[in-house]
Amino acid sequence: MGLFKRRGAATNIIRPGAMSAAVLKHKIEAIGVGGIAEIMRIGFDGEIDDMPITLQITSISKEEFSGRVISVERQIIEGNTARKIYAKHGGGIIDFRFDDGDVKTVKESVDYQELSELRDVGNLVEVLSALDVRDRILVAYFDKKRHGTVNFEGVLLSQLRENRQFDMMIDKINGVSLDKQINKQFDIQRELVIDIAIV
């Protein structure tokens, strides 16, 4: 069983706007075990969650499915500092019953290959060339290992190799201030940098 057990909807009432059990099961089975899903839920008050739960599906049965919650922000911050992040959706295993009646949408998370094909490397190089050292920037980056996009904020330290590599001192990750800054080098050609903007 999962580390965090969801309470099933005892009366199987579908909340307004939620998908049926049959539709939910079809979507989850289409993604499959091992796939990454983004699930948007509807709360008891009828309000839609402000952000989706991203999880890797670990099992699918006739009546339910389970998934390991992926918290990219939490993993990276805790991996680089001594700070502990208590994310809204935690970081364990969650069990979902298909008839809970509280899932608004389910979609397969955009993967590394899709983002690679969609991004414009030429535009990123152009943006970087227009920046000056010490400019404060925001970098959207897809972390392949953790299956998610992260927003790094900090100061541009240098530009290298015809503006295809750059160093930055990161002091915020997804808006969370770090206790200890991180010095990181990015390679636009080799790594999946999605966007660069001045802040």
Q: Retrieve residue 90's tokens.
A: 């935690």
Distance CA 173, CA 71 (A): 12
Q: Retrieve residue 113's tokens.
A: 């290959």
Confidence class for position 89, pLDDT limits 50, 70, 90:
very low
Distance CA 77, CA 24 (A): 33
The mean pLDDT value for 65-88 works out to 58
Digit-coded pLDDT (tens) for 26-51: 999 998 888 888 899 998 888 888 77
Output the pTM of the full model: 0.55
Distance CA 146, CA 174 (A): 15
pLDDT at 1 over 70: no
Digit-coded pLDDT (tens) for 136-171: 999 988 877 666 778 899 999 999 878 889 999 999
- Rounded-to-10 torsion of CA 23, 25, 30, 32: 160
